[in-house]
């Protein structure tokens, strides 16, 4: 809802999302000898803290991390935070669960990353979750394995942690001797308690040359540039690579251009496939680099082909930019020298250099690569792109404090002579804000007149703190004085420390007209100084949308699981972990319920696989399916599962996919041993994996697991679309007879008629916000394409009463007036929210009759004010996922809310509203559980009038959605899709996914309305879900939505028959008809109502 999340595209969305696995990061380079030229610049060296841990913030899932005898996964915004726990920083953290021993935790091998005699500083933010009432110990440990069989353990840090907040684990170590094998891990809580880790660093002091002092240099920043160490630190991009040498044999007799080795990149199926190396830590912004490489090609070609050098830049906003470096036409007859150059204006999160280019099937041959520094161009790391003026004046304090002022505090500029031991990150100056007595105190600049509305801006700054050893959040905020209101816009934020500079980056756009704008840096508690090294604000550059990905050689409907009927025993199957697998035949009476499903008869043969001796929840049957999957293709998952001996009650069972080092949810269900349960789900891969393993897991250790009819197959969406069009015709259309009467009616036989539908009466809506309707372009798109609205935040309790007793209905009043003006119907969202994270602090502090009184005041205040103005109300949001009110006030409080709401506003239809119900990726949120909840409410006298399915979905599969809708239809209540969005970075894939959901919902007779949860970029709940780019360009997803709306309008031409009639079948809604009469054209209007009977419309002509 109001929170943003980004997603693993392959993760099924519990609530918030993440990203697909990235390519493995290279290990740090071994120390290099420093040349004499570098030594002469030693006076300008600076000491920085270098982190040796890879993937320290879990932004790449668990890549290079390993759960130690337990289960681990990364909680991200897109996949749902663990029990609603928010990260300490960033948007990810690791969760270690199903722990049976204190020593089970998370580990990483650091053998190749440490040296003897160096002090390493360890820091991590940790907390726990589980059934515990007091803090428990967490510790960081080193496991040192010697040359023999000896193993020693060394504790390096220890802290007491609780389930209430994040704690910082700190320590240090120094090795006297280097062990054969060294593993770092975090452990400690008692069995059954989950261990949560936000970020981990192991740092040492490293001396770097100041790039600004380097005038020239010949040091090659490419490691293993001549492949003398094989492919060490090189990574083939979705293809095969090896090193040919004189010792191993040259390719087709081709000798190297220099040296004794060269790399061969083969089995290339795309032109962009090649060889890459991560150079993030070896380059800096503002430095010019010269690139050269000797290359040639080999294969069935007769002309020269292009070879290119490219940089892949991974930005902090998770976008990816490709920058060309150099190119040439290469042949297979001789080596060619390719040359190029580059200079980074801003420092991205990750920089990858790679060679690519030849057509598919042509081998790329690389002899050696050099990237050397050719000079420093006096650009700072947060400098604006060339040709663009920064909005902020004197951004790097080179003119003292001109244009800057203190926001309730003192400010000062500092030079290289230091502030304590702090030195500037870039250039010669930084500023400090001191004497702060409030968290909003800081350094500010008035930018009125230089920043404009409806323009996308990028913000970049480097900050740190002084006066506290603990990290604390620093924010860049924009205060805007709009007409009639003031508003604070968060531009960028990040935890900052007193040990190093931290970068803040973000984007924003202002919709409403304003009279004043001030940008300022704030955040830390009183008494802590804020240090700022540059603050740049500039118009953002528009990135070109990626083309539609090529999806080829997909066998729709073909099961990628080998031997799924077990007709060949255990062929193709292997145990996940140490469990045992065996094949058994089910008794006929247990199969009878399954075989009632016609689709099951095709692949159920009566045999099942049994997993026994399971000592952990993740153990079960598995198959490697890497080569059978295609990118950007939605795969449907289906299996019948049943718990075995060793347990009682129901257990969560799910299909999982281990995609490289990330866990992907393929569907969940609750199952016991009494019967077979169908498990459904879906997934999609956006990046080429090196290994994908599908497996079934779930019951606790000691409980056997049975699996039957396991299927994974690509979904043929277009074939289902034809079926849905026929279904839509039956559900959304009606037979109509137009009868003409009047003075000219007798002469109308054979006259031409043109019928045009002007509006489909089916409700299509979107959420809107008070600030964004001030953008005329956004408002125009909304009014033109939607006939219903819901307010994103403005009616929620935390918005209307952020402080107890101080009511704010100004925003909702103005939004309601906007909707009245444009004849837009409105849903109310929401009276209450059952998830505790969404309850404002003052309300969380109330209990008993005080909380009950607050609930009654909320109902009375809102519903008496807006009685009859909202067609629907979501009464208590997300009751399948939260229990704040129920835990405090008992089981009847939910029904009480419905009963009281109906008394105060009897005309409004009262809805339940929840997520993950229709896609089967969350066993807590199923159609069966929602039905059970609604029946319980009704038995308690709650007048539940409708079912709200939010529709935040990532991999929609039509028949799964339809099956869920069918199940819910048994209640006879109208179903609304209340918060629809689909997320995919590629807008063509996003359009395809959106079409699946829209067609499925529109074709279902129980669905009576569809509301999108936004449509404009930057103003969406989830990233990569928008229909309109921030500059107003309608993207592929928006075009698809508009095209479907157009498809669902009826347009007919015909002639009046001898009865003076014209018959047609059309969508429900408003029409105009144009009739050519003897006296001229006549236009009339009429409405086709929703009904099954033939509608007769009489028109006077």
What's 286's domain CATH number?
2.60.120.260
pLDDT per residue as tens digits for the range 1046-1065: 999 999 999 999 888 999 99
Is 47 in the same domain as 117? yes
Let me know: does 1010 contact 1001? Beta carbons within 8 Å. Answer: yes
pLDDT per residue as tens digits for the range 737-748: 999 988 777 788
Residue 246: burial class (beta carbons within 10 Å; 0-12, 13-18, 19+): exposed
- Asked, for residue 952, whether it belongs to a domain, the answer is yes
Predicted confidence at residue 389, as pLDDT, reads 59
Is 795 in the same domain as 869? yes
The sheet that has 1069-1077: what strands, in order across it?
Answer: 1051-1055, 752-760, 1069-1077, 1080-1088
Mean pLDDT in residue range 735-763: 90
Q: How far apart are CA 520 and CA 522, in angstroms?
A: 6
- Asked, for residue 413, whether it belongs to a domain, the answer is yes
Q: How far apart are CA 26 and CA 24, in angstroms?
A: 6
Q: What is the CATH number of the domain that holds 1012?
A: 3.20.20.80
Is 220 in the same domain as 191? no
Query: DSSP secondary-structure letter at 930?
Result: H
Query: Cβ neighbours of residue 242 under 8 Å, at least 6 residues apart?
Result: 231, 263, 264, 266
Q: Strand (E) positions, 146-301?
A: 151-161, 167-174, 181-187, 194-208, 235-236, 240-245, 261-266, 275-278, 287-298
- Asked, for residue 30, whether it belongs to a domain, the answer is no
Structure tokens at 93: 């953290």
Residue percentage of the chain with pLDDT more than 90: 64
Any idea which residue has 């629809």 for tokens?
Answer: 980
Residue 539: burial class (beta carbons within 10 Å; 0-12, 13-18, 19+): middle
Return the closest-CA partner of residue 233 out of 243, 241, 223. 223
Strands 46-51 and 261-266: unpaired
Is 167 in the same domain as 191? yes
pLDDT per residue as tens digits for the range 575-613: 999 999 999 998 876 776 676 666 665 667 789 999 999
Give how far Cα 77 sits from Cα of 195, 216, 450, 830, 1000, Å. 18, 45, 34, 22, 27
Structure tokens at 541: 């550059």
Is pLDDT at 493 greater than 50 in this prediction? yes
Query: Cβ neighbours of residue 737 under 8 Å, at least 6 residues apart?
Result: 1061, 1062, 1063, 1094, 1095, 1096, 1097
Mutual angle of helices 1036-1047 and 776-785, in 10-degree steps: 30
Is pLDDT at 999 greater than 80 in this prediction? yes
Predicted confidence at residue 381, as pLDDT, reads 34
Predicted confidence at residue 348, as pLDDT, reads 86
Strands 405-407 and 502-508: unpaired
Return the closest-CA partner of residue 298 out of 256, 258, 330, 336. 330
Is 666 in the same domain as 803? no
pLDDT per residue as tens digits for the range 48-81: 678 899 888 888 888 889 999 899 988 886 667 7
Weakest mean pLDDT among 168-172, 248-252, 567-571: 248-252
Is pLDDT at 198 greater than 50 in this prediction? yes
Cα Rg, the chain, nearest whole Å: 32
Mutual angle of helices 958-968 and 987-1002, in 10-degree steps: 30
Is 1068 in the same domain as 1017? no
Instruction: State residue 930 phi and psi, 5-degree precision.
Output: -70, -40
Beta bridge partners, 1055, equal 752
Is 923 in the same domain as 793? yes
Any idea which residue has 């070896």 for tokens?
Answer: 282
DSSP per-residue letters across 990-1045:
HHHHHHHHHHHHHT-TTEEEEEES--BTTSSSBTT--SB-TTS-B-HHHHHHHHHH
Q: How far apart are CA 1039 and CA 992, in angstroms?
A: 11
Q: Identify the domain boundary among 694, 715, 736.
A: 715
Helix (H) or strand (E) holding 864: helix 848-865
Beta bridge partners, 708, equal 640
- Asked, for residue 383, whether it belongs to a domain, the answer is no
Mutual angle of helices 987-1002 and 1036-1047, in 10-degree steps: 30
Is 1096 in the same domain as 1036? no
Q: What is the CATH number of the domain that holds 752?
A: 2.60.40.10
- Asked, for residue 392, whether it belongs to a domain, the answer is no
Mean pLDDT in residue range 427-446: 93
Let me know: does 608 contact 565? Beta carbons within 8 Å. Answer: no
**Mean pLDDT: which of 368-372, 385-389, 848-852 is highest?**
848-852
Q: Determine the 3-state secondary structure of 378 from DSSP.
A: coil
- Asked, for residue 828, whether it belongs to a domain, the answer is yes
pLDDT per residue as tens digits for the range 686-727: 889 999 999 999 899 999 999 999 999 999 998 999 999 999
Q: Which domain holds residue 419?
A: 405-539
Query: Cβ neighbours of residue 279 under 8 Å, at least 6 residues apart?
Result: 221, 222, 351, 352, 353, 371
Instruction: State residue 314 phi and psi, 5-degree precision.
Output: -95, 110
Which sequence positions are flagged as catalytic?
A: 979
Q: How far apart are CA 1059 and CA 463, in angstroms?
A: 82
Let me know: does 878 contact 834? Beta carbons within 8 Å. Answer: yes
Is 520 in the same domain as 615? no
The sheet that has 1061-1067: what strands, in order across it?
Answer: 1061-1067, 733-741, 1095-1100
366 HSE (CA, 13 A, CB side): 33
Neighbours of 895 (CB within 10 A): 20
Structure tokens at 613: 């001796």
Q: How far apart are CA 520 and CA 117, in angstroms?
A: 44
- Asked, for residue 875, whether it belongs to a domain, the answer is yes
Structure tokens at 850: 């005080």
Predicted confidence at residue 1083, as pLDDT, reads 94
pLDDT per residue as tens digits for the range 785-842: 999 999 999 999 999 999 999 999 999 999 999 999 999 999 999 999 999 999 999 9
Q: How far apart are CA 964 and CA 923, in angstroms?
A: 13
Is pLDDT at 386 greater than 60 in this prediction? no
Q: How many domains is the chain built from?
A: 6
Is 203 in the same domain as 215? no
Residue percentage of the chain with pLDDT more than 70: 90
Return the closest-CA partner of residue 387 out of 509, 541, 533. 541
Residue 764: burial class (beta carbons within 10 Å; 0-12, 13-18, 19+): buried
Predicted confidence at residue 418, as pLDDT, reads 58
Any idea which residue has 């660093």 for tokens?
Answer: 201
- Asked, for residue 581, whether it belongs to a domain, the answer is yes
Predicted confidence at residue 36, as pLDDT, reads 30
21 — pLDDT class (breaks 50, 70, 90) = very low
pLDDT per residue as tens digits for the range 239-286: 898 888 766 667 777 888 776 789 999 999 999 999 999 999 888 877
Residue 906: burial class (beta carbons within 10 Å; 0-12, 13-18, 19+): exposed
115 — pLDDT class (breaks 50, 70, 90) = confident
User: Residue 1007, Cα to own-chain centre: how many angstroms?
Assistant: 27
Is 980 in the same domain as 859? yes
Mean pLDDT in residue range 634-657: 91
Return the closest-CA partner of residue 73 out of 92, 52, 96, 55. 96
Furthest C-alpha separation in the chain: 109
Strands 275-278 and 350-356: antiparallel
Predicted confidence at residue 211, as pLDDT, reads 34
The sheet that has 275-278: what strands, in order across it?
Answer: 235-236, 275-278, 350-356, 305-314, 320-330
How many residues in total does the chain contain?
A: 1101
Is pLDDT at 774 greater than 50 in this prediction? yes
Predicted confidence at residue 58, as pLDDT, reads 85
Predicted confidence at residue 256, as pLDDT, reads 81
Higher pLDDT, 33 or 963: 963
Q: How far apart are CA 59 and CA 239, in angstroms?
A: 24
Is pLDDT at 32 greater than 70 in this prediction? no
Is 261 in the same domain as 160? no
């Amino acid at each position: 809802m109001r929170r943003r999340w980004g997603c693993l595209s392959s993760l099924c969305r519990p609530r918030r999302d993440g990203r697909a696995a990235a390519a493995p990061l290279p290990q740090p380079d071994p120390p290099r000898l420093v040349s004499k030229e570098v030594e002469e610049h030693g006076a300008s060296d600076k000491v920085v803290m270098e982190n040796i841990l890879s993937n320290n913030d879990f932004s790449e899932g668990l890549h290079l991390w390993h759960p130690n005898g337990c289960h681990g996964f990364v909680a991200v915004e897109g996949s749902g935070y663990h029990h609603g726990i928010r990260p300490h920083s960033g948007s990810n953290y690791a969760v270690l669960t199903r722990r049976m021993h204190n020593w089970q935790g998370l580990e990483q091998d650091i053998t190749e990353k440490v040296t003897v005699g160096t002090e390493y500083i360890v820091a991590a933010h940790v907390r726990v979750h589980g059934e515990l009432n007091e803090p428990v110990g967490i510790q960081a440990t080193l496991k040192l394995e010697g040359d023999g069989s000896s193993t020693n353990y060394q504790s390096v840090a220890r802290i007491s942690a609780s389930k209430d907040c994040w704690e910082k684990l700190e320590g240090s170590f120094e090795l006297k001797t280097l062990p054969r094998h060294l593993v770092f891990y975090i452990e400690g809580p008692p069995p059954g308690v989950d261990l949560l880790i936000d970020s981990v660093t192991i740092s040492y002091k490293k001396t770097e040359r100041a790039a600004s002092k380097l005038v020239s240099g010949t040091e090659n920043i490419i490691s293993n540039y001549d492949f003398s160490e094989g492919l060490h630190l090189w990574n083939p991009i979705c293809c095969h690579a090896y090193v040919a040498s004189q010792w191993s044999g040259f390719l087709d007799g081709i000798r190297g251009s220099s040296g004794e080795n060269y790399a061969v990149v083969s089995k290339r199926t795309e032109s962009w496939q090649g060889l890459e190396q991560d150079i993030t830590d070896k380059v800096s912004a503002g430095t010019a680099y010269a690139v050269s490489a000797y290359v040639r090609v080999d294969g069935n070609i007769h002309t020269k082909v292009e070879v290119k050098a490219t940089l892949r830049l991974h930005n902090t906003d998770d976008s990816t930019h490709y920058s060309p470096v150099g190119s040439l036409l290469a042949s297979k007859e001789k080596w060619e020298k390719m040359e190029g150059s580059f200079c980074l204006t801003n420092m991205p999160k990750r920089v990858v250099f790679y060679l690519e280019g030849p057509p598919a099937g042509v081998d790329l041959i690389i002899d050696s690569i050099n990237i050397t520094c050719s000079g420093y161009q006096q650009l700072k790391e947060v400098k604006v792109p060339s040709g663009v003026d920064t909005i902020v004046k004197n951004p790097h304090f080179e003119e003292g404090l001109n244009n800057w002022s203190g926001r309730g505090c003192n400010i000062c500029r500092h030079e290289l002579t230091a502030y304590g031991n702090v030195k500037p990150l870039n250039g010669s100056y930084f500023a400090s804000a001191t004497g702060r007595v409030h968290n909003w105190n800081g350094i500010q600049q008035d930018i009125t007149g230089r920043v404009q509305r409806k323009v996308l801006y990028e913000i970049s700054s480097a900050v740190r703190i002084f006066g506290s050893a603990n990290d604390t959040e620093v924010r860049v905020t924009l205060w805007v004085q709009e007409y009639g209101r003031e508003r604070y816009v968060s531009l960028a934020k990040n935890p900052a420390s007193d040990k190093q500079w931290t970068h803040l980056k973000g984007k924003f756009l202002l919709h409403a007209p304003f009279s004043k704008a001030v940008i300022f840096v704030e955040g830390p508690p009183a008494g802590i100084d804020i240090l700022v090294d540059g603050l740049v604000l500039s118009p953002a550059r528009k990135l070109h949308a990626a083309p539609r990905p090529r999806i080829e050689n997909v066998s729709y409907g073909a099961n990628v699981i080998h031997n799924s009927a077990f007709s060949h025993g255990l062929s193709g199957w292997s145990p996940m972990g140490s469990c045992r697998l065996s094949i058994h035949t089910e008794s006929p009476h247990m199969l009878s319920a399954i075989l009632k499903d016609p689709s099951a008869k095709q692949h159920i043969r009566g045999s099942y696989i049994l997993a026994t001796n399971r000592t952990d929840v993740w153990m079960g049957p598995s198959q490697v399916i890497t080569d059978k999957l295609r990118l950007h293709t939605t795969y449907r998952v289906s299996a019948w599962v049943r718990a075995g001996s060793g347990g009682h009650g129901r257990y969560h069972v799910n299909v999982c996919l281990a995609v490289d080092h990330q866990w992907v949810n393929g569907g969940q269900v609750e199952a016991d041993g009494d019967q077979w349960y169908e498990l459904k789900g879906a997934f999609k891969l956006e990046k080429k994996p090196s290994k994908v393993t599908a497996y079934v897991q779930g019951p606790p250790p000691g409980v056997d697991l049975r699996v039957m009819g396991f299927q994974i197959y690509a979904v043929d969406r277009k074939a289902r679309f034809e079926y849905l069009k026929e279904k839509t015709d039956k559900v959304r259309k009606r037979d109509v007879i137009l009868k003409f009467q009047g003075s000219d009616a007798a002469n109308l036989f054979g006259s031409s008629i043109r019928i045009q539908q002007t509006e489909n009466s089916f409700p299509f809506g979107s959420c809107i916000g008070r600030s964004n309707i001030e953008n005329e372009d956004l408002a125009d798109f909304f009014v033109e394409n939607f006939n219903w609205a819901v307010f994103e935040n403005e009616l929620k309790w935390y918005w209307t009463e952020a402080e107890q007793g101080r009511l704010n209905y100004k925003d909702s009043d103005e939004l309601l007036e906007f909707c009245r003006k444009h004849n837009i119907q409105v849903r109310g969202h929401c009276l209450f929210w059952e998830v505790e994270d969404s309850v404002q602090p003052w309300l969380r502090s109330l209990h008993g009759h005080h909380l009950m009184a607050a609930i009654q005041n909320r109902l009375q205040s809102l519903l008496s004010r807006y009685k009859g103005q909202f067609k629907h109300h979501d009464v208590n949001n997300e009751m399948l996922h939260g229990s704040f009110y129920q835990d405090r006030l008992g089981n009847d409080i939910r029904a009480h809310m419905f009963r009281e709401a109906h008394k105060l506003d009897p005309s409004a239809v009262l809805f339940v509203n929840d997520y993950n119900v229709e896609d089967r990726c969350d066993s807590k949120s199923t159609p069966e559980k929602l039905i059970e909840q609604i029946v319980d409410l009704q038995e308690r006298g709650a007048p539940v009038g409708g079912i709200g399915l939010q529709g935040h979905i990532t991999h929609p599969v039509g028949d799964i959605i339809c099956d869920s809708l069918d199940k819910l239809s048994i209640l006879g209540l109208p179903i609304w899709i209340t918060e629809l969005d689909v997320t995919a970075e590629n807008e063509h894939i996003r359009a395809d996914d959106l079409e699946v959901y829209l067609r499925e919902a529109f074709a279902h007779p129980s669905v009576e309305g569809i509301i999108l949860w936004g449509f404009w970029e930057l103003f969406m709940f989830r990233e990569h879900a928008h229909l309109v780019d921030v500059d107003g360009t309608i993207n592929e997803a928006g075009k698809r939505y508009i095209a479907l709306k157009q498809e669902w309008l009826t347009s007919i031409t015909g002639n009046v028959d001898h009865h003076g009639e014209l018959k047609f079948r059309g969508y429900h809604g408003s029409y105009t008809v144009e009739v050519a009469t003897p006296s001229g054209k006549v236009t009339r209007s009429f409405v086709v109502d929703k009904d099954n009977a033939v509608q007769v419309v009489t028109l006077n002509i």
